[in-house]
Chain A
Amino acid sequence: MLHVPRFFSTAAVALFAGLATPAAQAETPPDTLIQAWSIDDVITLDPAEVFEFTASEILGNTYQGLIGYNVNDVSDIFGVIAESWEVAPDGMSMSFTIRDGMQFATGNPITVDDVVFSLTRAVKLDKSPAFILTQFGLNAENVDDMIVKTGDNSFDLKMDKAYAPTLLLYCLTATVGFIVDKQLVLEHEVDGDLGYNWLKTAYAGSGAFTIREWRANEVIVVERNDNYSGDAPPMARAIYRHIPESSTQRLLLEKGDIDIARDLGPEEIDALQNNPDIRIESGVKGSIYYLGLNQKNEFLSKPEVRQAMKYLVDYATIADTIAKGTVTVHQAFLPKGFLGALEETPFELNVEKAKELLAAAGVPDGFTVTMDTRNTPEITGMAQAIQQTMATAGINLELIPGDGQQTLTKYRARNHDIYIGRWGPDYQDPHTNADTFARNPDNSDDAASKPLAWRNAWDIPEMTAKADAAVLEKDAAARAEMYLALQREHQETSPFVIMFQEIEVLGFRDNVKGFVVGPSFNDNSFKAVTKE
Chain B
Amino acid sequence: MRAPSAFLWQVTKLLATLALTFIGLLLVTFLIGRIVPVDPVLAVVGDRASQSVYDKAYIELGLDKPLYEQFWIYMTKMVTGDLGQSFLTKKDIADDILRVFPATLELATVGILIGTVLGLPLGVLAAVKKGKLADQLVRVLGLVGYSAPIFWLGLLGLLVFYAKLGWVAGPGRIDIGYEYSVTQTTGLLLIDSAMQGQWDAFRNVVSHIILPASLLGYFSMAYISRMTRSFMLNELAQEYITTARVKGVPEWRIIWIHALRNAAVPLVTVIALSYASLLEGSVLTETVFAWPGLGQYLTNSLQNADMNAVLGGTMVIGVIFVGLNLLSDLLYTLLDPRVRRRG
Q: Is there direct touching of A and B in the complex, by C-beta distance under 8 Å?
A: yes
Interface residues of A (CB under 8 A from B): 1-5, 8, 11-12, 15, 18-24, 26-29, 32, 34, 40, 43-44, 51-52, 126-131, 200-201, 215-219, 239, 241-245, 248, 251-252, 255, 257-258, 403-406, 408-410, 412, 426, 447-450
- 10 A-B contact pairs sorted by A residue (CB < 8 Å): A19-B210, A22-B166, A28-B177, A128-B48, A215-B89, A218-B292, A403-B303, A409-B38, A409-B39, A448-B52
Most A CB contacts (10 A, CB to CB) among B46, B162, B171, B304 go to: B46
Q: Which residues of B contact A412 (CB under 8 A)?
A: 39, 42, 47
Given A217-B300, A248-B170, A5 contacting B256 (CB threshold 8 A): yes
The reply on B107 being an interface residue by CB < 8 A is no
Interchain CB contact under 8 A, B50 and A23? no
The reply on B53 being an interface residue by CB < 8 A is yes
Q: Which residues of A contact B114 (CB under 8 A)?
A: 15
Which residues B33-53 have CB closer than 8 A to chain A? 37-39, 42-53
Given A43-B43, A44-B90, A448-B50, A19 contacting B255 (CB threshold 8 A): no
Most B CB contacts (10 A, CB to CB) among A12, A200, A405 go to: A405
Q: Which residues of A contact B169 (CB under 8 A)?
A: 23, 26
Interchain CB contact under 8 A, A448 and B48? no
Expressed in whole angstroms, the minimum distance between the Cβ of B102 and any Cβ of chain A is 13
The reply on B70 being an interface residue by CB < 8 A is no
Expressed in whole angstroms, the minimum distance between the Cβ of B210 and any Cβ of chain A is 5
Interchain CB contact under 8 A, B53 and A23? no
User: Which of B6-14, B23-31, B201-209, B241-249 lies on the face that meets chain A?
Assistant: B201-209
Interchain CB contact under 8 A, B46 and A128? yes
The reply on B97 being an interface residue by CB < 8 A is no
Of B51, B89, B121, B292, which one neighbours A449 at CB under 8 angstroms? B51
Interchain CB contact under 8 A, B38 and A129? no
Expressed in whole angstroms, the minimum distance between the Cβ of A408 and any Cβ of chain B is 6
The reply on B175 being an interface residue by CB < 8 A is yes
Interchain CB contact under 8 A, A24 and B204? yes
Chain B 116-129, CB-CB to A under 8 Å as 1, else 0, gives 01101100110010
The reply on B75 being an interface residue by CB < 8 A is no
Interchain CB contact under 8 A, B39 and A251? no
Which residues B166-193 have CB closer than 8 A to chain A? 166-172, 175-177, 179
The reply on B214 being an interface residue by CB < 8 A is yes
Expressed in whole angstroms, the minimum distance between the Cβ of A41 and any Cβ of chain B is 8
Q: Which residues of A contact B261 (CB under 8 A)?
A: none
Interchain CB contact under 8 A, A408 and B47? yes
Nearest residue in A to B86 (C-beta to C-beta)?
A216
Most A CB contacts (10 A, CB to CB) among B50, B56, B124, B210 go to: B50
The reply on B141 being an interface residue by CB < 8 A is no
Instruction: Report the separation of the CA atoms of residues A258 and B175 in the bound assembly, to the nearest whole angstrom.
Output: 9
Expressed in whole angstroms, the minimum distance between the Cβ of A332 and any Cβ of chain B is 21
Which residues B68-93 have CB closer than 8 A to chain A? 86-91
> Nearest 4 CB-CB pairs, A to B?
A216-B89, A128-B49, A3-B252, A409-B39
Of A1, A257, A426, which one neighbours B252 at CB under 8 angstroms? A1
Of B179, B297, B304, which one neighbours A405 at CB under 8 angstroms? B304
Expressed in whole angstroms, the minimum distance between the Cβ of B159 and any Cβ of chain A is 9
Q: Which residues of A contact B124 (CB under 8 A)?
A: 2
Q: Which residues of A contact B297 (CB under 8 A)?
A: 217
Q: Which residues of A contact B42 (CB under 8 A)?
A: 405, 408-409, 412
Q: Which residues of A contact B171 (CB under 8 A)?
A: 243, 248, 252
Given A2-B255, A21-B203, A51-B46, A43 contacting B88 (CB threshold 8 A): yes
Interchain CB contact under 8 A, A127 and B37? no
Q: Which residues of A contact B177 (CB under 8 A)?
A: 26-29, 32
Nearest residue in B to A15 (C-beta to C-beta)?
B114
Extra 10 A-B pairs, beta carbons < 8 Å, given A2-B128, A128-B48: A2-B125, A18-B207, A26-B175, A28-B177, A126-B50, A216-B90, A241-B176, A405-B304, A406-B37, A412-B39
Q: Which residues of A contact B207 (CB under 8 A)?
A: 18, 21, 23
Expressed in whole angstroms, the minimum distance between the Cβ of A50 and any Cβ of chain B is 9
Most A CB contacts (10 A, CB to CB) among B48, B56, B297 go to: B48
Of B37, B90, B303, which one neighbours A409 at CB under 8 angstroms? B37
Most B CB contacts (10 A, CB to CB) among A26, A43, A201 go to: A43
Q: Which residues of A contact B51 (CB under 8 A)?
A: 447-450
Given A23-B166, A130-B53, A405-B43, A217 contacting B296 (CB threshold 8 A): yes
The reply on B99 being an interface residue by CB < 8 A is yes
Q: Which residues of B contact A18 (CB under 8 A)?
A: 206-207, 210
Interchain CB contact under 8 A, B46 and A43? yes
Instruction: Report the separation of the CA atoms of residues A79 and B50 in the bound assembly, to the nearest whole angstrom.
Output: 30
Nearest residue in A to B304 (C-beta to C-beta)?
A405
The reply on B290 being an interface residue by CB < 8 A is yes
Instruction: Report the separation of the CA atoms of residues A450 and B50 in the bound assembly, to the nearest whole angstrom.
Output: 7
Given A215-B99, A257-B176, A23 contacting B48 (CB threshold 8 A): no
Expressed in whole angstroms, the minimum distance between the Cβ of B217 and any Cβ of chain A is 9
Nearest residue in B to A407 (C-beta to C-beta)?
B38
Interchain CB contact under 8 A, B176 and A11? no
Interchain CB contact under 8 A, B204 and A19? no
Nearest residue in B to A26 (C-beta to C-beta)?
B175
Q: Which residues of B contact A405 (CB under 8 A)?
A: 38-39, 42-43, 303-305
Nearest residue in A to B114 (C-beta to C-beta)?
A15
Q: Which residues of B contact A2 (CB under 8 A)?
A: 124-125, 128, 252, 255
Expressed in whole angstroms, the minimum distance between the Cβ of A351 and any Cβ of chain B is 34
Instruction: Report the separation of the CA atoms of residues A408 and B47 in the bound assembly, to the nearest whole angstrom.
Output: 7
The reply on B251 being an interface residue by CB < 8 A is yes
Instruction: Report the separation of the CA atoms of residues A20 and B177 in the bound assembly, to the nearest whole angstrom.
Output: 22
Given A18-B210, A28-B177, A23 contacting B44 (CB threshold 8 A): no
Q: Which residues of A contact B125 (CB under 8 A)?
A: 2
Interchain CB contact under 8 A, A28 and B39? no
The reply on B163 being an interface residue by CB < 8 A is yes
Q: Which residues of B contact A449 (CB under 8 A)?
A: 50-51
Most B CB contacts (10 A, CB to CB) among A244, A245, A248 go to: A248
Of A23, A255, A406, A408, which one neighbours B167 at CB under 8 angstroms? A23
Expressed in whole angstroms, the minimum distance between the Cβ of B199 and any Cβ of chain A is 12
Of B45, B99, B290, which one neighbours A128 at CB under 8 angstroms? B45
Given A24-B204, A127-B45, A405-B305, A19 contacting B53 (CB threshold 8 A): no
Most B CB contacts (10 A, CB to CB) among A2, A201, A219, A408 go to: A2
Most A CB contacts (10 A, CB to CB) among B47, B171, B297 go to: B47
Interchain CB contact under 8 A, B37 and A251? no
Expressed in whole angstroms, the minimum distance between the Cβ of B119 and any Cβ of chain A is 11
Q: Which residues of B contact A257 (CB under 8 A)?
A: 170, 175-176
Q: Which residues of A contact B88 (CB under 8 A)?
A: 43, 216-217
Q: Which residues of A contact B118 (CB under 8 A)?
A: 12
Expressed in whole angstroms, the minimum distance between the Cβ of B252 and any Cβ of chain A is 4
Expressed in whole angstroms, the minimum distance between the Cβ of A21 and any Cβ of chain B is 6
Instruction: Report the separation of the CA atoms of residues A20 and B206 in the bound assembly, to the nearest whole angstrom.
Output: 11
Q: Which residues of B contact A252 (CB under 8 A)?
A: 170-171
Nearest residue in A to B181 (C-beta to C-beta)?
A29
Interchain CB contact under 8 A, A243 and B290? yes
Expressed in whole angstroms, the minimum distance between the Cβ of B206 and any Cβ of chain A is 5
Expressed in whole angstroms, the minimum distance between the Cβ of B166 and any Cβ of chain A is 6
Given A200-B90, A215-B99, A216-B88, A4 contacting B121 (CB threshold 8 A): yes
Expressed in whole angstroms, the minimum distance between the Cβ of B198 and any Cβ of chain A is 14
